[in-house]
Every structure is written in C-alpha cells, then in structure tokens.
Amino acid sequence: MTARTLTTGLVGALAPTSTGTRPLAPRTGATDGPARVVIDLDLPGATISRHLYGHFAEHLGRCIYGGFFVGEDSEIPNVRGIRTDVVEALRALRIPNLRWPGGCFADDYHWRDGIGPREDRPRMVNSHWGDIVEDNSFGTHEFMDLVELLGTEAYVNGNVGSGTVREMSDWIEYLTRADDSPMAALRRENGRDEPWNVPFLGIGNEAWGCGGHMRAEDYAALARQYATYVRDHGDNQVTRIAAGANVDDYAWTEALMRAIDGLEGRDGRPGPFQAISLHYYTMSGPWEDKGSATEFGEEEWYRTLSRAVRAEELVARHATVMDRHDPHKKVGLVFDEWGTWWNVEPGTNPGFLYQQNTVRDALVASLHFDGFHRHADRLLMANIAQTVNVLQAMILTDPDSGALVLTPTYHVFAMSAGHQDAAALDAHLLLPEEVAEVDGRPLPLLSASASLRADEGTALVSLSNLSADEPRTLVLDLRGRSVTGHEATVLTGATTAAHNTPEQPDAVAPAPLTDVREHERGLEVTLPPHSFATVRLDLA
Ligand code: AHR
C-alpha cells in the first residue's frame, strides 16, 4: 500500500486551496486486499448522452485552416477542401456534435462575411488568436458541409459580444428555414436549397471575459433577449445555450438560473434559453506558466490529475445551484470547454495554442468522462477543446508534411465510445488506502465508471490507474446479472509522458489487456502503471 503526499502549495488562480501537509484521513470503504469496483448490472441510471463526447473547432491556430480545411487545391486528399483523413478518423469516433466557430472568436465573428463566393468575402483580424488576418474562406456552408461529412450535429456559437440580435436571428433563419423567407432565399442563392438541422446554438461565449467583460446580471438580460429571437423554424428545434460560468463562479450560474422565466415554456421546454455552459481547463502550473505538455515529473503528473478530478466537483456544485431552481433537471448543463491547456510547443506561435498530448492527457480525459457519467442526469453536453492541432486535440497534423497523428486522447474517446447513449451504472470503489494528497486534496489512484446497453446485453467499464509507477490489481465485483464473456483493452505508454509523433505514431495505442482473470466475485484485472482500460462485458 502506498500513500503519497505532494505539498507544493498554491499554484495559481485555478488551484484548489492548499492546506499544506497533513496525514491522510481514513477513507470510507477502505478494504484489505485488492481494490474492488462494485457494479450492480441490473440498476441502470440516467442515460449518458452521446453529446457528452462532443467536440469543438475554433478559428484558432491550425484547427480550421490546415487541420480540417486545406482547400480544394491542396495535395492532401480532400473533399471540397476538407481533409479526408481527418474526417475518417473522427467518423471512427462517432463524434456526436461539433461546436464552431469559437470560443472567443465567436464574439468577433460576423457570419455574413463567410458566405457567398470566397474571393468576395471580406477579411477580418483574428485578434484573440495570433492577431492574424482571417480571410473567411471557411464559413457557414463549409462548416455545415463538414458536419455532414462527419455525420455529426451542429453546435453553432452566435455572437453577442460584438454582434446584434438581428444578426443572430438571421443566422438561424439562414441555416434552418425551408420556405422563401429572405434568409432562406439568400442561402439558396449561395447554392444550398435544403435547410440544415442545427440543434444547438450558443448565445455568445465567455461573456464574463473575451465575450464582453459583462456582469452576470447584464449578460443574463442579454441572453434572454438574444435567445428570444433564435426561432425554431419548421421542424428544427434549437437548444439555446447561455454562456455560463468560469470554473467555480457559482454566482454566475445562479444569475442565469434566475433569468429563466419558467420551466414550462410554450412547448413544455424551459425558456428563453434551455441550457447553461461551464468552462474549466486543466493545467499543472499557474495561468502564466501552465506547464510543459511533455516535460514533467511525478509532481506535475499528480497535480494535473488532481485538477482533472476537480472537474467533477465543479459539475456537481453548479448542478446543485441549478437543482434549487430546477429540481426536475429541465435545464441542461453544457461543459463546452474542457481539457488540458499547456504552454505551446517550443518554436510555435504562442497565439496558436499548439501542444503535444501524452498519456497524462489521456488520463485527464478518462477522469473527466468518469465524472461526466456520474452526472449524466444534469449534463446535456460536453466539448473537449479542441479537435485538431489546438489544446487537447484528438488529431495533430504536421504543418510541412501534412502527416496525421492520432493522440492518446483520441484513443480514450475511441475506447469510450460505447458509453454514448448507454445507461449509467454506479461503480462503487472500495479502495485500499492508495491515495495521493495534492495541495490538500486526496487523490485516489484508481477511477472507474460503467454503463449498460440493455438492448445489446453488454456493459462497458472504464478503469484508470493514476499511479505513475505501480501496477494495480482490482476486482470487478459484478452483481445482478451473469457475465458470459469479456473483452479488455488497455492504453498506456513506456512513460507518463509517452506520446505519438509521425515517426512513432503508435507509441501510445490501444492493445488487448490480457491480465484479466475469472474471480469468485467477477473478474480480477491488473492495470499497468499510468494506464486507462476498458472492459466490455457480455451479459446473460
Ligand atoms: O479554447 C480556447 C479558448 O479558451 C476559447 O476561445 C475561449 O472560450 C476560452 O477562453
């Protein structure tokens, strides 16, 4: 049994309060012998929306340009300018939605500049991200084309910070109206007859910061106004998402919940907006020096994982605020920016937020998903930031050769895809005392979650071993249904900082986990150090 204590004090604005060194308190449920993960296979809970596995693509660095979009004349195989290899890789993940065009960029973006012949489109300055000139060659039609190629759903983020109510109202009409209305006619002039389906629309972004530096009540009033004019045209029903809190600003969530008129609007849905967002990023240092993506020691490893675990606490506490106003959970919480944020890779543009992605990032993702599964009753959607070449990406592309690399985080999404739209199962951890303490917070070195697909007769268990250097044997204590078969997969690397490159694309890649044995309570599993694993169970 191991207990670690990491006491490095307060490490920045996002850090939990440091309480210094103190002995670990006895943990409820501690047992001798291997840890147990107790799962009642016959007690399904809330549905884990597939939208918790959502994505985010901003006009930032090489996410859109060079990442998704290379233009028709590129030597890189593409369909109407959109990279074929990126589309294929993301289709394999079954990505449920894609948020666009920002982020901070959304509140600078005027959609009419991105329609019509490309050579006629006005240019603009992307002031947030590198202060570069944006030529608007990727606009509404290109985005919706991407959505269709990916087989996903559109989450369009509107502009409150520098836009107008009319601009947002016109955009949803342009996108979703079928008849000969002015905006539908304009869309047709630009080559698209049929309306698109747009189920999600963001009412601005980070209104407390880059989206206008507003006070909560001021933004709440604007959100009511803007959302009113985001109409449901024809069959298209929009979930309007108000720009929510930064990290632990519970007063912001409170202000937005107060701004909801009634929980039973005209169509039985809450209004004028139906969901509220939340943003939280994981880093190992303070904002000014977030830490290196690849050069880190044990201390940064555990601190990072401790901060990733904090995401669940944030969801729980924002949900508690929402519960007071909305006990039946009609208003959704949308965690539409999460993931790691490191110092940029040396030698790259600081405004482009390009970073490598290691086994540590993989564990940050798996810990978020465990928390998301446990709060599936309130969480409507979550979007990792961002899909290609920016922050905690699924895919990295080489700017010179165009080579594509799948990151460890991509593999966590792939291995976890079976949780999408499945029913959450409680996974109770009975842990021997194997806990790190980071900045005054206990960090159990094992994390787990599970879900059930009753229709298929299968369950999926996710397991993360947070220990940097020790394997972990645990028992899956499986109750309520007979298990007739299993298949286990593991993701790890030679070190905690292992990552994939064009030269070594599979340094971190899923492999069969063979260290699984029958046990009187179910299965005994040994996880390698710093690893994520899934176990698919076949049920009688
Ligand atoms: O994802 C990068 C940026 O982080 C987004 O543009 C902004 O919303 C957040 O601050």
If you average pLDDT over residues 499-517, what whole number do you get?
97
Query: For residue 149, what are the contacts with CB-CB under 8 A and spacing of at least 6?
Result: 79, 82, 87
How confident is the model over 87-104, as pLDDT tens digits? 999 999 999 999 999 999
Helix H or strand E encompassing 532: strand 531-539
Which of 523, 512, 448 has its CA nearest to residue 484?
523
Over residues 17-31, the mean pLDDT reads 37
Is 485's pLDDT higher than 80? yes
Q: CA-CA distance, 510 to 209, in Å (whole number)?
A: 39
Cβ–Cβ under 8 Å, residues 204 and 252: no
Q: What is the pTM of this model?
A: 0.94
C-beta 102 within 6 A of ligand 1 = yes
Residue holding tokens 């006070």?
Answer: 215
Which pLDDT does position 32 carry in this prediction?
A: 64
Q: What percent of the chain has pLDDT over 70?
A: 94
Q: Taking each helix axis from N to C terminus, what angle separates 359-374 and 408-416, rounded to the nearest 10 degrees?
A: 30
Quickly state the pLDDT bin for 476 (edges 50, 70, 90).
Answer: very high
pLDDT value for 45: 97
Nearest CA, atom 5, ligand 1: 103
Name the band, by pLDDT with cuts 50, 70 and 90, for residue 349.
Answer: very high
Task: Give yes or no for residue 96 CB within 6 A of ligand 1.
Answer: no
DSSP category for residue 21: S
How much is the pLDDT for 261?
77
* pLDDT tens track for 117-145: 999 999 999 999 999 999 999 999 999 99
If you count them, how many residues does the chain have?
540
The per-residue pLDDT for 471 is 96
Best mutation site among 126, 279, 335, 344 for ligand 1 pocket (most ligand atoms within 8 Å of CB): 279
Nearest to 230 by CA among 175, 154, 161, 185: 175
| pLDDT band (50, 70, 90) for residue 503 | very high
Amino acid symbol at 246: N
Those residues with Cβ within 8 angstroms of residue 270's Cβ, 6 or more apart along the chain or in another chain: 260, 262, 263, 264, 326, 330, 331
Mutate to test the pocket of ligand 1, among 160, 249, 337 (most ligand atoms within 8 A of CB): 337
Residue 298 annotated among the catalytic residues of the structure: no
| Token couple for 5 | 């204590």
Contacts of 367 (CB under 8 A, 6+ apart): 305, 308, 309, 311, 312, 447, 464, 466
| For residue 343, pLDDT beyond 70 | yes
* Closest residue to atom 8 of ligand 1, CA basis: 103
Torsion over CA: 212, 213, 216, 221 (sign): negative
Tens digit of pLDDT for each residue in 171-226?
999 999 999 999 999 999 999 999 999 999 999 999 999 999 999 999 999 999 99
pLDDT digits (tens, 9 = 90+) for 142-173: 999 999 999 999 999 999 999 999 999 999 99
Residue 313 CB neighbours (<10 A): 14
Which residue lies with its CA nearest to atom 3 of ligand 1? 103
Q: Mean pLDDT across the stretch 42-65?
A: 98
Pairing of β 55-56 and β 97-100: parallel
- What confidence score (pLDDT) does residue 433 get? 66
Q: Provide the pLDDT for residue 30.
A: 46
Decide: residue 48, CB within 10 A, 0-12 exposed, 13-18 middle, 19+ buried: buried
| Six token digits for residue 466 | 């947070």
> pLDDT for 67-91, tens place per residue?
999 999 999 999 999 999 999 999 9
**Three-state DSSP state, 341:** coil
How would DSSP label each residue in 223-286?
HHHHHHTS---TT---EEEEEEEETT-HHHHHHHHHT--BSS-TTSS-BS--EEEEEEEE-SS-
Specify the amino acid at residue 412.
V
pLDDT greater than 80 at residue 29:
no
End-to-end CA separation in angstroms for the chain: 36
pLDDT of residue 383 exceeding 60: yes
Q: Please indicate whether residue 58, judged by its CB atom, sits closer than 6 Å to ligand 1.
A: yes
Q: Is 48 helix (H, G, I), strand (E, B) or coil?
A: coil
Q: One of 134, 142, 173, 206 is an active-site residue; which one?
A: 206
337 is an active site residue = yes
Cα(100) to ligand 1 centroid in Å equals: 12
Where does 21-115 have alpha helices with state H?
Answer: 84-93
The answer to whether 413 and 76 have CB atoms below 8 angstroms apart is: no
Which residues, at least 6 apart from 539, have a Cβ–Cβ distance to it below 8 Å? 41, 457, 458, 459, 481, 482, 483, 484
| Strand 516-519 versus strand 522-527 pairing type | antiparallel
Average pLDDT, the chain: 93
Q: Can you tell me which atom of ligand 1 is nearest the CA of 58? A: 6
Measured in degrees and rounded to the nearest 5, phi and psi for residue 258 equal -65, -30
Q: Is the CB of 206 under 6 A from ligand 1?
A: yes
Ligand 1 atom with least separation from CA of 337 = 1
By CB atoms closer than 10 A (0-12, 13-18, 19+), residue 49 is buried
Mean pLDDT of 420-439: 90
| C-beta of residue 200 within 8 angstroms of C-beta of residue 158 | no
The protein residue whose alpha carbon is closest to atom 7 in ligand 1 is 103
